[in-house]
Amino acid sequence: MKVPGVSRREVLQQGIVAGASVSPLAKLLKLDKPQGKPRILAVSSGNGMRAVTKAVELMKEGEDTLEAAVSGVSIVEEDPNDMSVGYGGLPNEDGVVQLDACVMHGPTYNAGAVGALENTKNAARVAKTVMERTDHIFLVGKGATEFAKMHGFEEVDMLTERARQAWVRWKERLSQTDDYIDPAASEFLDPRPTGTITCLTLNEAGDMSGTTTTSGLAFKIPSRVGDSPLIGCGCYVDNAVGACGSTGRGEANILINGSRTVVENMRHGMGPEEACLDVVKRICAQTVEKRLLDEPGKPNFQLQFYAITKDGRHGGASIKGGSRYAVHDGKEARMVGMASAF
Ligand code: GLY
Query: In the structure, which protein residues have their CB atom closer than 6 angstroms to any atom of ligand 1?
Result: 194, 196, 214, 216-217, 226-228, 247-250
Dist. CA 252–CA 17, nearest whole Å: 23
Residue of 247, 249, 199, 188 whose CA lies nearest to 224: 249
CB 253 within 8 A of CB 303: yes
Q: What is the pTM of this model?
A: 0.89
**Residue 100 alpha carbon, nearest atom of ligand 1:** 5
Is 196 among the catalytic positions?
Answer: yes
Q: How far apart are CA 93 and CA 265, in angstroms?
A: 37
Q: Residue-wise pLDDT tens for the chain (342 aa)? A: 333 333 433 333 443 333 444 444 334 434 444 556 678 999 999 999 999 999 999 999 999 999 999 999 999 999 999 999 999 999 999 999 999 999 999 999 999 999 999 999 999 999 999 999 999 999 999 999 999 999 999 999 999 999 999 999 999 999 889 999 988 888 877 777 777 999 999 999 999 999 999 999 999 999 999 999 999 999 999 999 999 999 999 999 999 999 999 999 999 999 999 999 999 999 999 999 999 999 888 999 999 999 999 999 999 999 999 999 999 999 999 999 999 999
Residue ranges of domains in the chain, CATH in brackets: 8-175+188-340 (3.60.20.30)
- Helix or strand (DSSP H, E) at 47: none
4 Cα: distance to centroid of ligand 1 (angstroms): 40
Ligand 1 site-directed mutation target among 117, 214, 301, 306, most atoms within 8 Å of CB: 214
Taking the C-alpha atoms of residue 123 and residue 324, their distance in angstroms, rounded to an integer, is 24
Mutate-to-test residue for ligand 1 from 98, 196, 211, 223, highest number of ligand atoms within 8 A of CB: 196
